[in-house]
Amino acid sequence: MLSVTGVSKLFPGVKALSDVDFTARAGEVHALVGENGAGKSTLIKVLTGVYQPDSGEVVHNGSPVRFTTPLQAQQAGISTIYQEVNLVPLMSVARNLLLGREPRGRLGLIDFRRMHREADEALRGLGIRVDVSRPLRELGVGAQQMVALARAVAIDARVVIMDEPTSSLEPREVRTLFDVIGMLRERGIAVVYVSHRMDELYEICDAVTVLRDGRVVHTGRLADLDRLRLVSLMLGREIGEVRSEGLTKFTGSHQAAAEPVLRAEDLTVRHQLHGVSLSIRPGEVVGLGGLLGSGRSETARAIAGALPADSGRVSVGGAPVRTGSTPAAIRAGISLLPEDRKAEGISPGLSVRENIALAALPGLSRFGLVDNARVDKVVDTFVKRLRIKSAGPHQKVGELSGGNQQKVLLARWLAMHPKVLLLDEPTRGIDVGAKAEVQSLIDELAEEGLAVLLISSDTEELIEGSDRIIVLKDGVVVDELTGDAVTEDALMRAIAAESPAPPDSAELSKSPDFPQSPGSAGSAP
């Protein structure tokens, strides 16, 4: 139906796709999986005409095509459903469904009765019952996504690409979505399904293609691939592979105190975290394991107050910390090194000096006036200690290398003398030398008695750096590895294990305007 052969796509400095073959067949649900930076989104963008491949070709219906705009791909019958629905929220469901193809009466005016009837029929055909005359935005996200799907079917899409469609759906909505996907399959539509949720993949997908670092590392029937193998393909680690110690700069386990300094209990964030609890002792590095989208970053952000938690408690040294407030968390001694260093970490236009002093500034001031001598002293101390390389303290941080930017951020937090350091991908996108330095620094800090939470997609780094690993999956803690069990094999097995229960059945509730799933409530199409 739709395929690409030998496609490569270069971006300045990175090869996003190299020599990728991918085929979506009619009547097949094809899973496209891979970790961050594997090239999934680039491939989707090539398929939908957002990007043009540098080499290789796209074949649609047996003939090579060259989509230069997303519109052309759409007209050729390729529809994409994004996580965020791209419809017009203020217009009625019916108008959205038939946008641009409204039935016209005499005088060329829209025939509303016919439009509503047709829209209703189209949605019923998919087993969805909603009042089509209401504005789209009054529906839940799930129902909106269903309308987007119905629209894709209505405009005769032959290929439907779904990018993490379930990330903001309630479990019940997921059921309806899967039923609709089943119907699409029966109608001979090719579905490309991007998701990180392994249970979902095994439930609805027929085929799978695994991307890693811009290459296809596996393609074939999903049923022939067990979960453990799939995880090892995605992470690029072999099962049972002899682990070569000492590839990272970590020295091994630390002597941790007995009483945890940080306790997080029952952290719940709608759609993202479901009762996550963890504790870290001073001098301990606790790793957070799991695939992309498993809730690792969200856990760190919820602890740091950067992601408002719906429920749950955080305490530092026994004293409760108000959740949902970054200043409160910082005052309690929690520091977060965010995953997106460029957008949320550094202030690119400010100098090295200003960046380092940013959080500690009130403490380095007297009567609201900055004490420049003290700032200089702090900046000097950390520039030396972390070996930050810059043209001088007045150079803009945006001009530094990734590794030095990361060190500046570490300096910013160390200047606050934190008790707990949450590190979200501390070595991503920084060069090898800086990576080793950051790793040994993490070790050093733990030895000095800091409690460290480490998140890393680099499995090796996670295994060697952590004394203990808590494994997350779909926002739930599924396992904890301690002592000798902190190995890659154990980690991959924990990630691949089937979920004991659908995540949080207690949350099935309150979505009054959500459509009935087909079969229920006597809606025989």
Residues that bind another protein (CB under 8 A): 12-13, 304, 306, 326-327, 329-331, 336, 338, 343-350, 354, 357-359, 361-362, 365, 368-370, 401-402, 412
Name which of 337 and 386 has its Cβ closer to another protein: 337
Contact 171, 502 (CB under 8 A): yes
Name which of 106 and 366 has its Cβ closer to another protein: 366
Name which of 142 and 426 has its Cβ closer to another protein: 426
CB of 340 to another protein, least distance (A): 8
d(Cα 272, Cα 269) in Å, to the nearest integer? 5
Name which of 97 and 375 has its Cβ closer to another protein: 375
CB of 304 to another protein, least distance (A): 8
d(Cα 392, Cα 411) in Å, to the nearest integer? 15
Chain centroid to Cα 503, Å, comes to 17
CB of 336 to another protein, least distance (A): 6
Name which of 194 and 329 has its Cβ closer to another protein: 329
Name which of 56 and 402 has its Cβ closer to another protein: 402
d(Cα 158, Cα 149) in Å, to the nearest integer? 12
CB of 335 to another protein, least distance (A): 9
CB of 434 to another protein, least distance (A): 14
CB of 153 to another protein, least distance (A): 37
d(Cα 380, Cα 384) in Å, to the nearest integer? 6
Strands 159-163 and 190-194: parallel
Ranges of beta strands (E only) in 309-413 are 311-316, 319-321, 334-337, 365-366, 369-370
Q: Which helix (H) or strand (E) element contains residue 230? A: helix 227-235
Name which of 430 and 463 has its Cβ closer to another protein: 430
d(Cα 408, Cα 359) in Å, to the nearest integer? 12
User: Locate tokens 């529906």: which residue?
Assistant: 139
CB of 357 to another protein, least distance (A): 8
DSSP 425-477: STTTT--HHHHHHHHHHHHHHHHTT-EEEEE-S-HHHHHHH-SEEEEEETTEE
